[in-house]
Structure 1
C-alpha cells in the first residue's frame, strides 16, 4: 500500500499547499521540528515539497522555505500559504510568524525560476490594517487569478476588530494586477459564527463558485460554501464539511482534465494514547476527489488511482457473536428485528481496504460497520447508517456516562471521560431508503481510518489502541444485507 503520509524523515506533516503545473501536482506542506509537541515550538514549521503525476508515486524535493534566524520576520515559522505559476515564475505567498512582533503574522512573497529554490522577500507584502482587523490572526494567504475580474485575488484568514470575540473570523480579499502591489477590498466572507477561518481557498467549477476554510472551534474540520458569484452570498450545503473533524486544513487543485482533489491531513495526539490531547499536524490522508452535483453541491470519493494501492485479495472468515446472521455465497444477511446482532471478520492485517454493498429493510435504528473492537463490543468505533435520523455517523464507544452513574454501575468497567470530539466523532445527514444499495469503501492504515460512503460522504479518524478485532458488522432493530465483500492489501 503506497499512500503518501509523511516525508522520508517521518516528520509531523500538515497543511497541504497544492499546485498543478505542466502535468505535475506540486504539494508543498508544513513539517514541525523533530520531537516537538507543544506551542510554540511545534509550529516553527518548514515548507516541504513533493511532486507526483499520478497521486501514488511521489518524489520528494528540497525544502522550499525554512524559518529565518535572529530577527528575521519568519523566525518563528513559515506557516501556511499558497503557490501559483504566473509570468514565467513560481510565486509563493506564505505566513511569516514572529511571535515577538506587534504583527505576529504577516504575508510574505517568495519567488522561484524553477519551482524548487525560492527567494523570500525581506519585508511583508500585506500586514493587517488595525483600523479593520486584529493584528494577531492574519494568515494563510490563498492567491489565484480571477479571470472574470481580470486580476489576481488573495484571500487571507483574519479577524475583525469588533463584534463578539468568538465570532470575528472572516476571509479578507485583496486584489492586484501584478502580484506585487495589493489593494484592500474588505471581507468577502464574514459569516459571524467562528473564531478564525483558517486556510481559505476559492475556485470555480461550472457556473458555481466555492469558498472553503477550516475551523478549530465549533464543530471543527474543513467546510465549504457555494454561490453563483465570487462575492456571495455563500450558502451552506446539505452535507456540510469535507471529511469530518479530523480531516483538516484541506486545500484543492485541479488537473488538466478538470478533476479536482482535496489534500488534507489527520491529527495525531501528543502521545500514542486515545485519551491524550490532539496536536497540530499528523499524517496526510487519501486525497478526496470532488464530484459536483447539478445543484452545485459537492460529493467526495476516493480517486480511482488508489485501486493500484490494493491489488492483493485477503481471505477472511466471519465470526457470528450475537443474533440471527446467515452467510451464503459471500453475502451476509442479518435479521435483527427488535434487537442487536453483530459479528467480526478474522482479518489480521494492519493495513487493508474493505469494500461492500449494504442494503437495509424495515430498519428502526441502524446498520453499520464495527472498527477497532474488543470481543464483547464494549470498546469500539461504529460507522452507522441510521434510517430514522437519515444520518451517517462514526461513534466512539464506550460513550461517556455521568460520573454518578458510572460509579454506581458495576457493569461499567472503564468510565470514559468526554473529550473534544464528543462520542459521535463524525456525522452528516444522509438520504437512506429501504433496499437502497449503499457502497462502503474503508481504508485502515494501522490507526488511521478513512471511510468513503457511497461516493458522497467521507470520514477520517485516528485510533491508537490495540484491538482484538479490526472490523465487523452490526445491525440494530432492522434487517441488513452485506454483499460484494472484499478485503485487499
Structure 2
C-alpha cells in the first residue's frame, strides 16, 4: 500500500552563519520548526493527503485515536472522519500520525482502507494493535448497515489486518468475531488487545450490550497466542454498567496496570458524554469508581492510553462544531489532543501537559494591553482584577500563532467566578469564557452572546479561596487546553480564539493572576 507522508509539524534545518560566537544559538530537534502559526500541537489530517481532488478523500478530521508504541515511535492510528460523506460511500479508513515524543507529529496518510458495500468493513470502527513475533496484528471494528448486507450478517464484527512493518497492511479475510447469542450484534465493537502479565495470556476487550436488557457491557476474550486465531469468550464480563450509571454503551475500552493498580477506561456518549475510568487491584475487578471519574470534559472523547516504558499518555480527540463557529453543534471528530497521566497516592489519576510539549514553548512573547473594564492594576507580570459586586476584564491585543500561557490564579471569595476570556473583536457582547467557579467546585466554559452565557463544557475541581492555582494553557488554532496544578486537563474548541483579543475576567470578587507569561515556540 502506498503511504502518503505529510509533515504536520514542519522542522527547518537552520544553518547559522554567525558574525559572533556569542550570537550562536544551539537549536534542538524539538525546536527546529518554524511556521509558528501552524505548529499544530493538536493535529488533524492534512488536506489533500493523497493528491486527490475529491474532498471526501482528502479533507477530514481526527477521530478515535488508537496509539501503539514500537521501537521509539508512537504510532497514533485514528479514524479519518471525512468532512463530507457522499451517500453510498464507505467511511472512516484508518490513518496514522507518528511521533517520537507526542509533540512533533508526522502525518502518514491512509493505512487501512474501508471495504466494499458487500463487505463487513464498508465502514471502519475503533481497534488496537499488538505485536506477536515479527507480525503486527491490527484488530478493528467492521461496520456495515446496508440492508442487503444485514439480511445474512451482523451490523458490527471484529476484523483483523496484519503487517510486518506497521505501514503495509493486509486484511485477513478469514478472521471474524461476531457477537454470541447473549449479546447484541448491532452494537459489538472497539477491540482492545494487550498481553496481560498477571494472567500470562492475551486479552481482547469488546464493548457491546446484553441482547435482552440492552445494558452496556465490556466483554473479555482470551488467547494464548493470537497467531492461532483462538480467541475465546470468557463467561464473566469484565464490566457491566450499573443501574445508577445506566450507560447505553461503553465505547473504546482501554486497560492498563500502573504501580499495582489496574485501570479501565471507556467513553460514553449518551448520558455523561465523556471518557471515564475505573480502578481495581485485580484485572477481574471489582471496579471502583473514583469521586471524579472523568478524563477531561465533554469535548474530549474516545481516549486511549499508551506508554513508552517510562511515561504513560492518553490520546483522545477534541470535538469540532458544525457549522464551524462557537454557535455550532458538537460533531464527531476533531483534533488529536494528548495528556500525560500520573498517579496519586490514593491511586486516582492526574492529567497534565506532556513535558515534551511544554518544552516547545521557550520564547517569551509580549502581552500588550488592548482594553480594560472595571478596576484593574498591574505590577510587573501580576494582574489584579477588583470586581467585588461587579465585573472586571483585562484584555490583551490579538495575536496569531500557537502559544502557551502560564499564570497563577488566586481568588478572594467563593461567591464569584474568574478566569479567561476570548473576545470577538467584531462584537463587544460575543465571547468565549473559561471560568473557575469555587461555589460549585467546577471549571466551566461558556459562550457569551448578547450578554447571555450558555454553558458549553465543564469539569469538577475542588477550588478554595485564597489558594493559588498554577495554570498552563496551550492555544493552538481553535483548540485550547487548560491544565490546573498538573492534576486536571480541560479541552475546548474555541472558534473565537484566533486573531481576537484575549485576557482575564473576574466576576463579583477580586482575582489575582500572578507571574504571568506568554510563551511561543
TM tier, smaller = 0.7 to 0.9
Match of 1:284 in 2: 336
Match of 2:299 in 1: 246
Cα deviations across residues 388-445 of structure 1 (Å, max 9, x unaligned)? Answer: 22222222224xxxxxxxxxxxxxx5889xxxxxx33222332223332211111222
Moved more, 102-111 or 357-366: 357-366
- Note closer, same or farther for the CA distance 1:334–1:277 as it changes in structure 2 (3 Å cut): closer
Correspondences of 1:127-206 after superposition (within 5 Å): 127-129=178-180, 131-163=181-213, 168-179=215-226, 180-185=229-234, 186-192=236-242, 193-206=246-259
Match of 1:91 in 2: 137
CA distance in structure 1 between the partners assigned to 2:451 and 2:378 by the alignment: 34
Match of 1:406 in 2: none
TM-score, length of structure 2 as denominator length: 0.82
Aligned 8 A contact 2:385 2:392 in 1: yes
Cα deviations across residues 111-150 of structure 1 (Å, max 9, x unaligned)? Answer: 2222221221113431011x21111011110001111111
Aligned 8 A contact 2:445 2:456 in 1: yes
* Local SS of the residue matching 2:291: coil
CA distance in structure 2 between the partners assigned to 1:23 and 1:466 by the alignment: 35
Cα deviations across residues 150-201 of structure 1 (Å, max 9, x unaligned)? Answer: 11111011011122x5xx2221111111121111114211114211111111
* Local SS of the residue matching 1:306: helix
Q: Which runs of 5+ in 2 are unaligned?
A: 1-38, 50-58
Aligned 8 A contact 2:430 2:451 in 1: no
- Report the alpha carbon displacement of residue 37 of structure 1 after superposing the two structures with TM: 4.8
Match of 2:126 in 1: 80
* Local SS of the residue matching 1:378: coil
Correspondences of 1:317-328 after superposition (within 5 Å): 317-319=368-370, 321-328=372-379
Aligned 8 A contact 1:392 1:430 in 2: yes
User: Does 1:358 find its partner at 2:406?
Assistant: no
CA distance in structure 2 between the partners assigned to 1:40 and 1:201 by the alignment: 32
TM-score, length of structure 1 as denominator length: 0.88
Cα deviations across residues 251-285 of structure 1 (Å, max 9, x unaligned)? Answer: 1101121x100111122233323333333212212
- Report the alpha carbon displacement of residue 376 of structure 1 after superposing the two structures with TM: 7.2
CA distance in structure 1 between the partners assigned to 2:451 and 2:441 by the alignment: 31
Match of 1:25 in 2: 74
Match of 1:405 in 2: none
* Local SS of the residue matching 2:276: strand
- Report the alpha carbon displacement of residue 374 of structure 1 after superposing the two structures with TM: 5.3
CA distance in structure 1 between the partners assigned to 2:141 and 2:106 by the alignment: 25
Match of 1:13 in 2: 62
Cα deviations across residues 311-364 of structure 1 (Å, max 9, x unaligned)? Answer: 332212235532221111121112222322222111322532222111122342
User: Does 1:427 find its partner at 2:482?
Assistant: no
Q: 2:284 aligns with which of 202, 216, 231?
A: 231
* Local SS of the residue matching 1:244: coil
Match of 2:13 in 1: none
Moved more, 177-186 or 465-474: 465-474
Aligned 8 A contact 1:363 1:477 in 2: no
Correspondences of 1:351-430 after superposition (within 5 Å): 351-373=402-424, 378-398=429-449, 413=450, 423-430=454-461
- Report the alpha carbon displacement of residue 72 of structure 1 after superposing the two structures with TM: 2.4
- Report the alpha carbon displacement of residue 38 of structure 1 after superposing the two structures with TM: 7.9
Aligned 8 A contact 1:79 1:96 in 2: yes
Match of 1:348 in 2: 399
Moved more, 192-201 or 423-432: 423-432
Aligned 8 A contact 2:477 2:497 in 1: no
- Report the alpha carbon displacement of residue 4 of structure 1 after superposing the two structures with TM: 4.9
Alpha-carbon RMSD across the aligned residues, in angstroms, is 2.4
- Note closer, same or farther for the CA distance 1:487–1:14 as it changes in structure 2 (3 Å cut): same
User: Does 1:482 find its partner at 2:513?
Assistant: yes
CA distance in structure 2 between the partners assigned to 1:438 and 1:377 by the alignment: 29
* Local SS of the residue matching 2:356: helix
Moved more, 434-443 or 306-315: 306-315
Aligned 8 A contact 2:392 2:507 in 1: yes
